Structures are given as structure tokens and as C-alpha cells.
Amino acid sequence: MYQALMDEPSITVVPVAREGEAIPVAAGLFIAGQNPVISIQNAGLYEAGDALRGLALGIGLPLVMFIGYRGHNRKGDTPDSAATFLEPYLHMWRVDYFVVESDEDLDRVPLAFDLAAKTNQPVAVAIGTEYAKSVEPSEVAQGGSR
């Protein structure tokens, strides 16, 4: 994904040292008339909590946030707390979100842009296939994957 973004001439990638910078950098770009999105992992979204509060929700920033759904599997039973807490976390902040698990779900992405623009609020797109091989609950029960 990173290489695809780097190779796309219409997109400028701004690498940040820490996820908490991503939202304020996006806010600055939006103030300057650009069209930013952010792309971080769920664990990074937790790190970015105060920036999400103050500089996205607090200012009414229409920002689409692509969130890598690390640890996600469709059975909902995962040993990765980064996945366990993502949707409760988004509910807690009252951030609307769409889950994209396969190419068939890609039509949800423009819906996220439309919703962000309509509400002047951040909207998350959780990318559920960041890791193709998810851990089976049976393996967890046996302790085999820890």
C-alpha cells in the first residue's frame, strides 16, 4: 500500500514519526486548501487520541482516516487487543466508520468521503485485510499462536 501511494503522482505522501502528528498535519493541509487523508494503524489511532479529540472532532474537520485493522478476523475472536478495541474506541469517540474487508467493499470508501464532507467530522475506514493471514480462534484457545 505504501509503495502504491508513493508511486501515484497525484498523491504526496507525508511520512510522520508518530501517529499523533498525522491529524494536526492534515488539519494544516486542509486549512491551506489541500485534500488530506491519513493512513495509520489502529494502535496508532489510540496513540493519536488527544489530536483526534482536539484537532478533528473539536474543530469539525472533514477528514477520512484510513485505519489498518490489525488483528481483525471475521469470527471476531482475536488475540490482538489492537483489533478488539478498535470499534468500541470509534463508538466511544462517536466517529462513524466503514469496514473494508475485500475489493467488494471498496464502494464504501466514497461513502466515507461523502459523509465527512456532509457532517464536517472525521470518518474512519477500517481496512480489515491488512494482514491476509489472521489467527484462528482455535489456535488461540490452544495457546499455539502466542
Partner 1 sequence: MITYADACRVINNSRDEAVVVTTMTQTKYWYQISKHPDLDIGIANAMSKASSVAFGIALGKPDRSVICLDADGSLLMNFGSLATIAGMAPKNLYHFVFNNGIYSVTGGQPLPTPGVDYAKAAEACGYASAYRFEDVESLDSLLPKILAGPGPVLIEIMVQGEPQAEGVDQTWESNAKMPLQLRALRKRLTGSDDWGPGGPYL
Interface positions with partner 1 (CB under 8 A): 12, 14-18, 20-21, 23-34, 36, 50-51, 53-55, 57-62, 119-121
Whole-number Å distance between alpha carbons of 52 and 47? 10
Of 41 and 78, nearer to partner 1 (C-beta) is 41
Whole-number Å distance between alpha carbons of 139 and 57? 39
Of 43 and 100, nearer to partner 1 (C-beta) is 43
Q: How far is the CB of 61 from partner 1 (least distance, A)?
A: 8
Of the candidates 82, 69, 83, 81, the residue with the CA atom closest to the CA atom of residue 127:
69
Of 51 and 82, nearer to partner 1 (C-beta) is 51
SS3 13: coil
